[in-house]
Structure 1
Amino acid sequence: MSTDDMSIGAAPHTPSPPIRVLLAEDQVLVRDSFKVLIDATPGMTVVGEAGTGAEAVFLAQRHRPDIVLMDVRMPDMDGIEATRRICADPVGAGTRVLILTTFDQDDYVYASLQAGASGFLIKSATASELLTAIRIVSSGEALLAPTVTRRLIAEFRHGPRPAPVVRDLNDITQREREVLTLIGRGMSNSEIAEHLHLTVGTVKTHIGRLLAKLHARDRAQLVIAAYEGGLVTNSDGHR
């Protein structure tokens, strides 16, 4: 085959860079199991391991991972404060935090979201669920199921909670307000589309505009905006 023949046709496929994960978990055995699983998965790699919240902040600044898999309960600095510091760092704006939690014990849903977390993963999750969660959050989506939003509403009901981050809802349209309300109720894009008789593409467009107008990092922060703006009430927790 001539050189000219070789140059004809589609360009060779360039593989996407791997998802870079920082593990923040104080239990060594759990952390090691996560590392083995993630490093063995094509398209993912562990770039650092932290046993305390302070180490997680330091390593996030050092390695700039795509995802921090963050345990809530850690020595030295808890996962919420570590999340807040990581997400507040403008240099690390591309880093997203996936919180490891046990919903039956941890009352940290609201605080974690307000700190900037992009989702939650229950510690009893399967290996497949863990990998799927990493991919979802890495893609820019929030991992926030209706069960999580119901828990969040319960925390609003019983308080106390941190001071709200005020977001002005006056500049959003009526349709955007409807979409934001349904996001706050934990609906997926397809559920919102069905409820409002829209296409999924149109829903995504509205969400993109809401993110820009409300200066929200991701869907999780839109949930916070819906609650703090009074668009979701306590009764919405019983869908």
Structure 2
Amino acid sequence: MSFHKLFFLIPVTFLSLFLAIFVLFRQCIIPTQASNSIVILQPTLIQQSMLQYFIQQCNSNLTYTQIRLINSEIQKQSKIHGFDPFFLASLIAAESSFNPYAVSSRRAQGLMQLTASVLSMMKVSNPFNIQQNIRAGTQYLSFLAHRFNHSELVLAAYNAGPTRVARLKRIPNIAETLFYIQKIKRYHTYLKSYFQQTIQSFWVKPRLFASLESFPEFLVVQQKSISTFNYFTNLEVLDICEQRRPKFFV
């Protein structure tokens, strides 16, 4: 066989081998099912979609731009400070029902209900600015997390003040604070359970339940026809969110 023919056949042979391995891989690893479709599952995108819908259902007065901005800032600040975005969203839902202009009877302001002392500490120029409020509120929450190192104590300090919690070394026996902690835990559990159910509604081989950072995306075969954007019924969301909360509330 001449050199020219051999030179031509080598890449053809390798191409044939590659195609054979690819077909075998598809048959062994990714079962072909006529009724199913192969998709790329990105947990972070599912999480963002869930939060966007959650925010919208908690506060129907928000514009689409506001919802996107709130969601984006929650994702950004959660990543910077190491919080679960569902946890941060749960806190904001409990504080203001995602009302950027909320003002309490104690003059706490904005989405995360920042007090005058926190606004001064975090150098916030406009507490009603979505990005400034979430950024400052998350920084303050991170400060409390490093100080108390326990989620319930952190929430108690955010609600009742760090001085009181530090003095008592426990959650203050205040009805408002106790209810506040339980409300956030309920929101957080609700969001996490729906997220897990959504992931489990896909057929995954191998089945992966790991951190979002470890597996930002993986190949799955959709087991059944579901909408990855309709996670909550209106009734369920109305049950856990305080909708129609006024601009100025107690």
**Higher CA-based Rg:** 2
| Same fold by TM-score greater than 0.5 | no
TM-score with structure 2 length normalisation?
A: 0.22
Greater per-residue helix proportion: 2
Greater per-residue strand proportion: 1
TM-score with structure 1 length normalisation?
A: 0.22
